[in-house]
Every structure is written in C-alpha cells, then in structure tokens.
Amino acid sequence: MANISKKVSWSGRGDDRGERTPLLNGAEDGKYNRHVLHFVFQSLDYDNSENQLFLEEERRMSHMGFRCLETRRWVICGLIGFLTGLIACLIDIAVEKLAGYKYSAVKQNIEKFTEFGGLSISLILWAVLNSAFVMVGAIAVAFFEPIAAGSGIPQIKCYLNGVKIPRVVRLKTLAIKVFGVICSVAGGLAVGKEGPMIHSGAVVAAGVSQGRSTSLKKDFKIFEYFRRDTEKRDFVSAGAAAGVSAAFGAPVGGVLFSLEEGASFWNQMLTWRIFFASMISTFTLNFFLSIYHGKPGELSSPGLINFGRFDSDVSSYIPFESFIFFSFHFPGGVLGALFNVINYWLTIFRIRYIHRPCLQVMEAMLVAAVTATISFAMIYFSNDCQPLGQDNTEEYSLQLFCADGEYNSMATAFFNTPERSVRSLFHNPPGSYNPLTLGVFTLAYFVLAVWTYGLTVSAGVFIPSLLIGAAWGRLFGILLSTITSSQSIWADPGKYALIGAAAQLVTHACHLCFVLLEHEAHVCGLYDVHIKLQSVPFLHWEAPPTSHWLTAREVMSSPVTCFNRVEKVGRIVDVLSNTSTNHNGFPVVAHTTENDEPGKICGLILRSQLIVLLKHKVFVERASSRLSHRKLQLKDFRDAYPRFPPIQSIHVSQDERECMMDLTEFMNPTPYTVPQETSLPRVFKLFRALGLRHLVVVDNENRVVGLVTRKDLARYHLGKDGLEELHLAQT
Amino acid sequence: MANISKKVSWSGRGDDRGERTPLLNGAEDGKYNRHVLHFVFQSLDYDNSENQLFLEEERRMSHMGFRCLETRRWVICGLIGFLTGLIACLIDIAVEKLAGYKYSAVKQNIEKFTEFGGLSISLILWAVLNSAFVMVGAIAVAFFEPIAAGSGIPQIKCYLNGVKIPRVVRLKTLAIKVFGVICSVAGGLAVGKEGPMIHSGAVVAAGVSQGRSTSLKKDFKIFEYFRRDTEKRDFVSAGAAAGVSAAFGAPVGGVLFSLEEGASFWNQMLTWRIFFASMISTFTLNFFLSIYHGKPGELSSPGLINFGRFDSDVSSYIPFESFIFFSFHFPGGVLGALFNVINYWLTIFRIRYIHRPCLQVMEAMLVAAVTATISFAMIYFSNDCQPLGQDNTEEYSLQLFCADGEYNSMATAFFNTPERSVRSLFHNPPGSYNPLTLGVFTLAYFVLAVWTYGLTVSAGVFIPSLLIGAAWGRLFGILLSTITSSQSIWADPGKYALIGAAAQLVTHACHLCFVLLEHEAHVCGLYDVHIKLQSVPFLHWEAPPTSHWLTAREVMSSPVTCFNRVEKVGRIVDVLSNTSTNHNGFPVVAHTTENDEPGKICGLILRSQLIVLLKHKVFVERASSRLSHRKLQLKDFRDAYPRFPPIQSIHVSQDERECMMDLTEFMNPTPYTVPQETSLPRVFKLFRALGLRHLVVVDNENRVVGLVTRKDLARYHLGKDGLEELHLAQT
C-alpha cells in the first residue's frame, strides 16, 4: 500500500482569471520543476449539464428540429473545410512569393560576387534577409500572442483531451499564427508550414461553429445552440482534421488524427462530418492553387506538401529490401530519441533563462542568421558539382564555382525551402548527390532543427524531421549500392530517401495517410515532452496499470464546498470570491446540517452558471415580488459562453446578500457519482470515457464526501520507481 | 409526455441455454414481427467486475508483470494476423483451383459442341457443376452451422457492439465458413470471398487469445489472463481488422472498420496493436501467394481483391469530370436503395417460408443453376465479338460463334469469377465492351445479386455490388464519350468503371482504405436491415434525439431481484432456476428487509459468478468447518469462461440449501449507478461509453429501485411517427 513516492504540496487553487499565463510556450518566471502540475489549466466540460432548462428545450424540440440542427452541423463543417483550405492556400502562396524574392535576390548577389570575389557580402545579405523575416514573425508571436508559438499541435492535443487552454482558439491567435508561419518559413528556418495548419483549422472551427468572434466583438446570432463545450469540441475536432487534410492532402489522415486525440467522445455521424470537412478543405486548397498556378481544374496538389510521383512503385520491394527496410528503423529511432532528449534540455533551459519576449526574438534572429551562415559555408566549401540536366526542376540552382553547365548539389539541399529539398531528395536521379554532401547535410540540419523547435516563432516540426530522414535514407541507399556494387537492384536511391523519411517517422509508410499516422507516433513523442514540460494535466488513455490499489477516497479532494438547494446569495458570493479555494463545480445537497455533516447529493452546479444567475439577480425574493421578471433562459447562459465574467465584476449589494437563490432549476440534477471504494482505474475510465470535469464521490448514504477533477487523476504517473505523484502547484 | 406509440408486450425473460436459436440467418418458426426485440441475445460485459479477487491479483502484479502482459498482447495480435493471412491464402488458392477446373471443363465442352451443335449439353454441364459446388457448401452451412451463413459482417458488428451471439466465434463456425465460401464462389454464385474473411479473422482472434478451443476440447493453459469479455473483445476487434486487411490489402481500412464498430472501447495502444495485426495479415497473405505464384518475394497482391494498376492517374480529374463524378452518386444511391428494399422483402419471405434446412439447400442450388443459365443465355445471344489482343489476360476467353482471333466479350463478364470480372471492367482497353452488353449485364447481375444475398451459403456482398457499379459506370463512360464524341477526354472508360464502382458504394474513392469506408456506408445499410430483421438489441451511437423526456425510471426493469451480502443457498438456487425471470445480474444489497422495501446497494454479482460459487460449494459453513478448503481464485472463474454450466447441472442437496453464501469477496463492490431522474440519452451515453451490461438505478437513499439492461435501451427507436417502442419477446 505504500510504494508511492509522495511529492504532494497541496495548494488547492485553480483559476483562469485573465492573467497572462505561461501556457505551452515557455515564458515563465524562471522557475522550473518537473514534478508539478499547473493549476492554471481548466477543464472543458464534455458532459452536458442536463438541467431543467436544457431538458425543457430538448423536449420542446420536434423531430424536425433535430434534423435542422443536424443539417446546420453539416453546413458548419463545410464552412470550416472551405475556410481552412483558403488559409492553407494563402500560406502556400505567400511563402512561395516571399521565398522566391529572397532566393532571387541572394542568387543574383552570389552570381555577381562569384566572379569578383567578396562572397562575404552575399552571406551577410542572406543572413540579414533571413533575420529580418524571422524578426517580424517572432515579434508578432512573442509580444502579441505567445500561444501562437510552435506548431500548435500540442495545444490542440490538449484541447481535444479536454484541457481548456486560454486564448488557444481565438481569431487573434489565428492571425498571428498564419503571419508568423509565413515569416519563419520565408526566413529560412528549419521549419515546416504543416503543423500550424492544424492549429489554424481548429481556430476556424471554433469561430465558425460559435457564430461570433469575441476578438472582433461581432455576434452573428447564428448557431447559438452550439455554444457549449460539448458541441464546440466536436467542431474543433473537425477543424483540426481539415487542417491535417489541407497540410498533407490526406483526408483519411485528418480523420485518424482527430480519432487519435478525441476518440472517447466519438460517434459515427461525427466521423462522417469530420471526413466531409477534410474533403472540402483539401479540395478548396487544390482548386485555388490550381487557379493560382494558371491551370484551373488540374487538381494535382491536394496538400501543402507534395511528394511528387515515384516512377518505380515504392511499395514493391524485393524480399531482401524488406529486411533492409526494417533495419532502417534503428537509426531512425536513435536519431528521433536524440532529437527529443536534446530538445527536452533545451526547452528547460529556455523556460529558465529565455523568458523575456525581447530575448526570445533575439534568439530566433540568431538562429536565422546561423542557419544562413551554416548553409552558406556548406555550399561554399562543398565541391560537389553535378551536371545541369535538361529536366532539372531546381528553381534556384546555384552554379557558384562549378563549371558552366553544372550546379552545386549542396545548394539544392540548402538553398531552398525545406519542402522542395525533400522533393529533390526523393526524385533527383541517382548520382545527384555525393555521400559526403548528404552526411554533412544530415548532421548540420539535425543540429539546426533541434535548436529551432521551441523558438518563439510559429512553425512546424514535421518537414524538418522528414528532411533529416530523407537525407540519411538517401545516404544509406548510396552506400548500400556502393558496397553491393550492383547498380541494377539499388538503382533508385530516391526510394531509400522515402524509406528513410518514413523510418525517421518511426515506422514504414506505404501511403500518405499512413505517413501521417507515423508522424503522429514520432513527433508525438516530442509533443508529449513539451506537454509534460508545461505541466498540463493531460489525461492519457488509461490510468497507470499499477494504480489499482488507489481508490476514489485517496484520490479525491476533500472536504468539498457544497451549496444548499436554496442558498443565501451572500454565501455564494463569498465562496466564489474566495481565491484560495477557486473551485469551478459545486455539489448541491439536500440539507447541509450546520454541524459539518455532509448532505445528500441532489445536483451539481458550475461556477459559470452561478455567475450568470448572480448577474441576472435570479433571487427568490425578486421572483415573488416582481412577477413580470423575465424567466432566465438557456440563451442567457449561451450568450455568456465561453468567457463568463469574473465574480469581482458583479456587484451585489448588502441587501441582496441576504436574499436566497433557488438552484433547483439550473443545477444538473443527475451528476455522475462513484462510491469511495472505487479503484482509480475505474474512476479514470468513467472520467475519460464521458469527458467529465467533476465527478462526485459519495458514501453509501449518497452523502457528498469528495470531488474528483482532472488534476486529481492527471497527477499519478508511472515513473522509474513505480507510481509517482506530482505536485499540484499554483502558477 | 405521451407521443410514444407503446407496443410493449412485456415478458421479462432472457436466456441462452443452448437451444438452437434463430440468430442472424433466418431459420425461425415461420413467424415474423418487425416490432420485436429478441430476448435470446445476451450482452457481453465490457465492464470489469472489480471484485476483491481481481483487485488482489492486480495489486500483487508488479510493473514488470504488466509489461509482460502487454508483450503477450502484441504476440497474440501477431499470431492473429499470421493465421488470418494464411486462411485468406487458403481460400484464394482453393477458389482459383476449383474455378479453374470448372471453367476449363465447361470451356472444353463448349468448344466441342460449338462445332457440332448441341450447346444445351454444355449449359447443363455448367449448371450441374455450379449446383453441385453450391449444394455441398449449402449443406455444410444449413445442417452443421447456420451461423456461418452470409458474410458474417452483421454478426461481427453485433459482437463488437456488445451482443453475445451464440457460436459466432467458434472453431467449427470458422471451418464451415471457410469451406462454405470456397464452395459458393467456385459454384459461380454472385458473391465475393471478402466478407467471410472478416468473420474468419474474428474467430481466429477469439480462439488464439483464449489459448484454447472448446470445439477441440483442448486447453493450452496459456493466455489465461485474457479470459474475460473485456480482453476478448479487444482481440476480436484486431481479428476483424486483420480480416479486412487480408481481404482488401488495406491495413488502415481494417483499423477504421474496427474503430467504426467498437470505438467507444478504444485506446491508442489498442489501435497500434490492431494495426500491427492488420499489417502482419496482409503481409502473410502476400508472401504466401507470391510463393504459390512462383515469384517468391514479389509482394504485389496485398489483398484478396486486387484492382490492378491504372495507367492514368485516377485522382487527377479535369474539372468537368468532378461534376460528372458527383452525378454518379445519384444512380448509385438509387440502385443501392433498391437492392436493400428488394432484399428486405426477400429476407422476410425467407424467414417466413424457407426455414427448413433442406429447403434452404434447394433454394441455393436453384440460384446456382439459374445463374449458370442466365449467364449462358446472355453469352449465347450476345454477338459482341472483340479481337483477341496480344496482351489479353482473360484466362477463359470463349470464342463461341465469333470469328477466329476474336472472343465473346459477354463471356469475359459472365464466364469468370466476379473478382476477375471487376478487373476486366477496370482495365480492358476502350472498346472492349459494347453498351448493350454492359446494360444487359448490369440488369441481370443486379437481379442475381439481390436474390443471392441471404441464401444459406457462406458469401460476401462486397464484390457483387462493386461489380454492378463497375458495369454501369463503364456503360455511362461509353455513353458519355459517344455523346461528346471526343475520344481524347473520355479516353478511358475503365476510369468510369472505377468511379461507378465507388459511387455504387455511395461516395467517391481515392484509394483502397477509403473504398472500404464507403463499402461500409453502403453495404452497412444492407447489414443494418438484416440486423434489424433479426431483432437483435443493437445499440446505436446515441439515443434517439427525441427521447429526452424519458427517464431511467420509465426505462428500467422493476422490481429487481436482489441478494443479500450473505444469502441463503436455497434462495440463490431458486432464483437462478426460475425460468420466468432469467436474469444475469443481481444487485447485492446491505439488508433486504422482509417487508419488500428495497435495500441499499453494496454490489453487483453475475449469474456466471454465482454458478461458479455454487459449483465449488463456497458456503460459509464449509469454510469454517473445513479449514483446509482451497480458497476460490480468479482462475476458477477463468476456467469456466465463457460457457458457464447451466444451473440445472449443479446438484445442491437439501442440507446444502440451508447453508449461507458470503458474496462480499466475489461481487463487484462499485457498480455504476444512476438516479431515477436521469434522462434516457444520459443513461444511454453512460451505458454505451463504458460498454455496460447492467446499470443499477437507485433512489436518493442509494436503495435499488431498478436495473437497466441492453434491451431496455435498444427497444426505443425513431419510427415514422416519432419515438417507437419495440416489443420484448421471448423466442
């Protein structure tokens, strides 16, 4: 019963009152403790509060009414897909344009100075251009919306897991995210533009489904039915899927992503809607890109990344190759693990020392300049010249010191956007690269990518890891063909580039939606590291296997603040204002006896509901004195959702404090409860499967004895010495 | 409160005591009522009974122990994939061989009689051969294992939904299923061999994961930990996925299938295991087929069905084609709906009139003969001759009355296994078929397929519907090219065949795993019809939307038979033997007062557990009198799983009847409960998300007032006049 390493420093307080919070991007006050769970993160409520108002509305609604709602859901998903596709299109075009200008300018400069000498000026030009782009992007992120940093996938994972992360689905976040990713990709950082698409899709979904924008202070008065956590999260799943679909051109991949993250709240119709949003999104992107490229209707680029077509069928291996391919997993896994470990320590370093916005901007600029310098040096010192083929598709091929009719092969890997580099590695004919080039490139790019991920810029990590994999995969293929010296079998090193890329992403990939699944598996390791570093109370799929000896009694918070069915306004205001017990859900009991004996449970009411009741002064005395008083409706709760005002902003006079409030109509009369003896895995399963926020623990007389919330469950995890318990800290 | 059409004829009894039950294949006593839910179907228990024995075992287990279990799960999944792949391989080779012999014989015969006249002898030969094959298969199914009829997908859907269908995952079922499908495909019926693979995979999984076979009376004493519904169902999901993967060569499709059906009990590690099983299965099939075809290692046929490669990229449409493609949905949907409606009435007819095994065999033989006759007639009267190309891949091309160097094009569609016909429609060069041929073929094959599905043979419906789609798709493509008379754009009618096939399966398909999703959507309509026709208490994803005004109080069964914590053996035996209240789960209460007042809930015990306790005579008196008495362990329950003996087989003497039994250690002390006021959708959600079998309804004193089981929830459905309630009938 006692093999748990207790590290509890209990400070029962959790709140989200609009202060600037550290979130997932690192800015904190210089302290970092790996055994801490932050209290700042609230839970979403995936459980409907089925109070009388809600039941009355549902019962009034006809069968036709439900059909209407269903239709509206489809329309919203269509809109989400369309807008997400448009955003992807915008990002793609902007990046192409900006990168095009940059590389043209640098190329002209290099060509000019190759003859006269003085290439250091070209280097400076390149570094300055890169830094300038990155500076603009980093300033936007660091000063205006820090939540827009990184790929956004960890944040969306948390959101779908049920953690409410402040400002993550706001319009402002979207704007900064899109602007930031354009800057950082154009600025030549070792980043991709795919990850941010997922975050963008989620924001679009949250906005469209709610029919209003708080950032713009605009309420379209539509889709009001969907203004609650349950419905909103469904749409955010669809948005994330649409983002995946636009990024990778893989609608099925999008659906799988959403399933992976939110599957416990999932049903068949929802899957089809998510699929619909994904299809619309990839179609929209494809359609508008085809118009932009002047070939309207030629729908050949379904996603932001496009691997091109392989001449030889990638999926038909000769048997020996299967073994080779399995052996690819080993170096891929080692590199991936190394990436995660280094990045882990780097992130801790950043949390401790680089938390001021201006420092963050400067680090980003430094990385941009170093990226340019390293790239330039490698191109400069490489003497890997390749003949310029007729079907050469390199847009910015550099001749440099090569003979006429030849180009510098290192430049195709470094003097290019990462997506194009990946494509060159896959498709350039055998012999395009010499092994040394590839080896040095792999090493240098690995270092840059590790350093880059976690910068305060908006950027994804999928493409860099794909590129590293492609480079060493191709290297491996070349070496293999040298050893066996039979060019016929190992004819196409591009094939190895693909296998390498897939192996880097942990397992083998046959086609794209599958590549994505693996991306999940690999990069998710990285994401999980970052989620853990930020002390988010993330609930995994199951409780730790060795936690069966823990019961609800040990896990729950106790004592619990309860309210009576008819409660004094003054007490409610006092409880809500008490910052040391900043709870969000309160069991409602039949008769709290004064002598501290717990009362029988008869409902559960949320802080947000109480706030609305107080704001509208729904007091028993007023109801009886003034008959004309408008009855409170669900609409009033929906209008206040999701940013309910803080208790401090609501004025309650001394007289009103003496009034009574009848909670019967507004509380959830049938909250889920468990007995005290329930084992932790069982509590966990109930909590996770239903997406709960509060679970009331009762004794065998149905009296409230405790309350289980997300942090109570998330704080148990499997460490090296068995089950460990994390600190609960207030930020 | 009263817009429900009550059709209740309550007969509270449910049992599965080994009688021959009608199941999903039709044989019943001539009565059919569409407003009935059969009581014969038991529920699986996806909720662990976390009693003291279980908790002790879990708590004893080290972290290492859990890792070991996890490893074993992976090994089992690998085995499942391997065996499923082998079975697929066996089916494929057997069908090819048998069909080869048959077509060669008929072809020789036809060639012989084409010159001399007297082709009616060939027709008779063909019809007799077909009927003979089908007869053997139908006899095996109808007389030895009726549950092996059909594709098996509805049964597996039900199993994953939580309905325990007797004998569905037995080894004998597997043997008959495999044998039956070989016979019916070789017998030339309009059926596919893909559906049965899913059922086969599920049986393999159930067998392997339990480490024993009841049919063979063989217990390997391994994997004993997995002998409970929870674990078994996880493996059956993996088996079904492996089956899908072997059938269609689409591992991701397999995973999606399992998700669709069992997603509420799903977690990430399980998904990866399912994926692993799917990969192994398609790899195994591919590997052994490549050896069989004499090209070891050339892994080019990942599934039973293989669409071959398209020269033109199917996914690159010109814009106008997109619209065409959308318009394909309309006829596809109409044909699909027509198929379902006709088959619905046909099935009702069969349930009423064709329920004797010999009648069923005769009907199957009749269909086989008619299929041969129609095919022959169409080939005979067609004069669609096509030149025999050099790259002609038809294995059984018939010259018949065509000139030398030509072949009868109708024969390529009819004188072939359905898979090959699909491939011809996709790949034969433009002009291979004339429109009339295709039109008549579509019509005839449609009629045959509708008639065939539901016969007492083991066979799938995926390939026939694909074939119908391919035929009219190609027809449509040809007509379109005639109208626009621009051969260049509409160059490849094979493309339209594919689009048509996809549209027939409801929506468009880009690649295979996706084709499968759609297959789901279309054919599932058909499956759902059949599930409904068999009155299975199938739980859909959500409660009907208009059911909010129903509460647990109205839905539950009441009064409930409860036991005391320490109960008299005589009473337990009496309750279990009472055939009129054949319950499977009993709340255990603290003190049942004699005056019929309900007691406070303190646990839940299952019939199966009580049976084991009675069998081992775990009585309070014996424990105290004989100290050496072995303590009952979890192993005793696992050994009895899943076929616990009936109560009648357990002898309890008159003395023993006076003994007492202490249930404390064996009952689940923390069953899930809900208050009486809980709305039906809320009860439904809890029940579905946790895969429950029994849900106890309590009042606010925690006293037992009712019990909700699967049939209580499944009986509400949305009819034409709003919410309808089905009869509960005993078979």
Q: Is the pLDDT of residue A19 over 70?
A: no
Helix, strand and coil in chain A, % to nearest 5: 55, 10, 35
Q: Ranked by mean pLDDT, which of A252-261, A292-301, A350-359 comes out on top?
A: A350-359
Instruction: Tell me which residue has tokens 């609608």.
Output: A251
Q: What is the pLDDT of residues B4-51, one digit of tens each?
A: 444 333 333 333 333 333 434 443 444 455 555 665 677 888 888 888
What sign does the dihedral B377-B381-B384-B386 (CA atoms) show? positive
Pairing of strands B727-729, B36-38: parallel
**Nearest Cα residue in chain A from B603:** A675
Q: What angle do CA B425, B428, B431 make, to 5 degrees?
A: 100
ipTM value greater than 0.95: no
B316 and A297: CB-CB below 8 Å? no
Question: Do residues B641 and B504 both lie within one domain?
Answer: no
Q: What is the pLDDT of residue B300?
A: 63
**Nearest Cα residue in chain B from A544:** B63
Question: Do residues A560 and A475 both lie within one domain?
Answer: no
Q: What is the pLDDT of residue B179?
A: 95
Q: Are A428 and A498 in contact (CB under 8 A)?
A: no
Q: Could you give the CA distance from residue A697 to residue A675 in angstroms, rounded to a whole number?
A: 6
Question: Do residues B280 and B345 both lie within one domain?
Answer: no
Taking alpha carbons only, the member of A623, A567, A621 closest to residue A592 is A567
B179 lies in some domain? yes
With a CB cutoff of 8 Å and minimum separation 6, the contacts of B30 are B352, B353, B355
Axis-axis angle for helices A329-353, A493-504 (nearest 10): 50
Task: For residue B605, report the phi and psi dihedrals to the nearest 5 degrees.
Answer: -125, 145
DSSP letter string, B510-528: SSHHHHHHHHHHHHHHHHH
Question: Do residues B370 and B501 both lie within one domain?
Answer: yes
What sign does the dihedral B227-B229-B230-B234 (CA atoms) show? positive
Helix H or strand E segment including B447: helix B435-452
Pairing of strands A722-725, A716-719: antiparallel
Could you tell me if residue A433 is left (phi over 0), alpha (psi between -120 and 50 degrees) or otherwise beta?
A: beta
Looking at per-residue pLDDT, the higher value among A415 and A267 belongs to A415
Q: 3-state SS string over A618-657? A: CCHHHHHHCCCCCCCCHHHHHHHCCCCCCHHHCCCCHHHH
Q: How many CB atoms within 10 Å of residue A94? A: 18
Size of interface A-B (CB pairs under 8 A): 152
Q: What is the pLDDT of residue B506?
A: 33
With a CB cutoff of 8 Å and minimum separation 6, the contacts of A563 are A571, A572, A575, A586, A587, A588, A589, A605, A663
Residues of A in contact with B634 (CB under 8 A): none
**Which range, of A259-263, A317-321, A660-664, averages the lowest pLDDT?**
A317-321
pLDDT (mean) for A505-519 = 38
| DSSP structure class, residue B580 | G
Looking at per-residue pLDDT, the higher value among A99 and A434 belongs to A99
User: What is the least distance, in Å, from the CA of A527 to any CA of chain B?
Assistant: 16
Q: Could you give the CA distance from residue B55 to residue B53 in angstroms, rounded to a whole number?
A: 6
Q: What is the pLDDT of residue B504?
A: 43
Q: Are B223 and B67 in contact (CB under 8 A)?
A: no
**Nearest Cα residue in chain B from A689:** B689
With a CB cutoff of 8 Å and minimum separation 6, the contacts of B512 are B248, B249, B250, B253, B303, B307
Residues of B in contact with A325 (CB under 8 A): none
B51 lies in some domain? no
Q: Could you give the CA distance from residue A718 to residue B26 in angstroms, rounded to a whole number?
A: 52
Question: Do residues A586 and A720 both lie within one domain?
Answer: yes
Q: Closest to A66 (Cβ–Cβ): which among B252, B541, B545?
A: B545
Helix H or strand E segment including A692: none
User: What is the least distance, in Å, from the CA of A297 to any CA of chain B?
Assistant: 5
Q: What is the pLDDT of residue B571?
A: 92
Query: What amino acid occupies position B278?
Result: S
pLDDT (mean) for A430-450 = 80
Q: What is the pLDDT of residues A570-611, one digit of tens each?
A: 999 999 998 777 778 999 998 755 566 778 898 999 999 999
Q: Are B77 and B274 in contact (CB under 8 A)?
A: yes
Q: Could you give the CA distance from residue A380 to residue A408 in angstroms, rounded to a whole number?
A: 9
Q: Could you give the CA distance from residue A194 to residue A248 in angstroms, rounded to a whole number?
A: 7
**Nearest Cα residue in chain A from B70:** A545
Which of B 229-268 lie inside 8 A of A, CB atoms? 252, 256, 259-260, 263-264, 266-268
Looking at per-residue pLDDT, the higher value among A548 and A307 belongs to A548
User: What is the least distance, in Å, from the CA of B8 to any CA of chain A?
Assistant: 22
B678 and A690: CB-CB below 8 Å? no
Q: B590 touching A, CB under 8 A? A: yes
Question: Do residues B338 and B385 both lie within one domain?
Answer: yes
User: For the whole model, what pTM was predicted?
Assistant: 0.83
User: What is the least distance, in Å, from the CA of A257 to any CA of chain B?
Assistant: 11
Residues of A in contact with B600 (CB under 8 A): 700-701
**Nearest Cα residue in chain B from A55:** B548
Which of A 276-295 lie inside 8 A of B, CB atoms? none
CB-neighbour burial class of residue A374 (10 A; exposed 0-12, middle 13-18, buried 19+)? middle
**Burial letters A139-155, b for 16+ CB under 10 A, else e:** bbbbeebbbbbbbbbbb
Residue to mutate among A506, A679, A701, A704, with most B CBs inside 10 A, is A679
**Nearest Cα residue in chain A from B544:** A63
Question: Do residues B255 and B349 both lie within one domain?
Answer: no
Q: How far apart are the first and last CA of chain A?
A: 31
Q: Closest to B319 (Cβ–Cβ): which among A297, A514, A682?
A: A297
User: What is the least distance, in Å, from the CA of A33 to any CA of chain B?
Assistant: 26
B678 and A685: CB-CB below 8 Å? no
DSSP letter string, B288-302: HHHHHTT-TT-----
DSSP letter string, A168-218: TT-HHHHHHHHHHHHHHHHTT-S-BSSHHHHHHHHHHHHHHHHTEETTTTE
Question: Do residues A560 and A704 both lie within one domain?
Answer: yes
Taking alpha carbons only, the member of A411, A414, A434 closest to residue A370 is A414
Residue A277 lies in domain = 145-293
**Nearest Cα residue in chain B from A69:** B545
Question: Do residues A522 and A561 both lie within one domain?
Answer: no
A16 lies in some domain? no
Q: What is the pLDDT of residue B513?
A: 38
Ranges of residues in chain B whose predicted pLDDT is under 70: 1-40, 262-266, 296-333, 388-397, 399-400, 413, 426-432, 480-525, 592-596, 623-630, 720-721, 727-731
A63 and B722: CB-CB below 8 Å? yes
Task: For residue B490, report the phi and psi dihedrals to the nearest 5 degrees.
Answer: -95, 40
Q: A672 touching B, CB under 8 A? A: yes
**Nearest Cα residue in chain B from A67:** B545
Task: For residue A315, report the phi and psi dihedrals to the nearest 5 degrees.
Answer: -85, -5
A260 and B266: CB-CB below 8 Å? no
Q: How far apart are the first and last CA of chain B?
A: 31
Bridge partner residues of A660 (DSSP): A568
Q: Write out the two tokens for B160.
A: 């994953």
Q: What is the pLDDT of residues B163-172, one digit of tens each?
A: 888 888 889 9
Q: What is the pLDDT of residue A337?
A: 76
**Nearest Cα residue in chain B from A542:** B267
Q: Are B397 and B405 in contact (CB under 8 A)?
A: no
Query: Using CA atoms in the order B327, B330, B333, B336, what is the torsion angle rounded to 10 degrees?
Result: -100
Taking alpha carbons only, the member of A394, A306, A371, A412 closest to residue A92 is A306
| DSSP structure class, residue B40 | S
Q: Closest to B677 (Cβ–Cβ): which among A266, A590, A670?
A: A670
Taking alpha carbons only, the member of B629, B630, B640, B631 closest to residue B606 is B640
A625 lies in some domain? yes
A252 and B602: CB-CB below 8 Å? no
B437 lies in some domain? yes
Instruction: Tell me which residue has tokens 């470094």.
Output: A414
Q: Could you give the CA distance from residue B19 to residue A196 in angstroms, rounded to a whole number?
A: 60
Q: State how many domains chain B has.
A: 3
A91 lies in some domain? no
Q: Closest to A260 (Cβ–Cβ): which among B268, B297, B549?
A: B268
Helix H or strand E segment including A78: helix A63-116
Q: What is the pLDDT of residue B500?
A: 53
Q: How high is the mean pLDDT of chain A?
A: 78
Q: What is the pLDDT of residue A667?
A: 93
B68 lies in some domain? no
B159 lies in some domain? yes
CATH for B326: 1.10.3080.10
Question: Do residues B488 and B433 both lie within one domain?
Answer: yes
Bridge partner residues of B696 (DSSP): B673, B707
User: What is the least distance, in Å, from the CA of B243 to any CA of chain A?
Assistant: 19
Residue to mutate among B71, B682, B696, B720, with most A CBs inside 10 A, is B682
User: What is the least distance, in Å, from the CA of A479 to any CA of chain B?
Assistant: 23
Q: Write out the two tokens for B438.
A: 């295709």
Question: Do residues B181 and B228 both lie within one domain?
Answer: yes
User: What is the least distance, in Å, from the CA of B59 to any CA of chain A?
Assistant: 6
Question: Do residues A160 and A282 both lie within one domain?
Answer: yes
Q: What is the pLDDT of residue A14?
A: 38
Q: Could you give the CA distance from residue B552 to residue B683 in angstroms, rounded to a whole number?
A: 7
Q: Are B493 and B409 in contact (CB under 8 A)?
A: no
Q: Write out the two tokens for A237.
A: 């799943």
Q: How many CB atoms within 10 Å of residue A427? A: 18
CATH for A577: 3.10.580.10
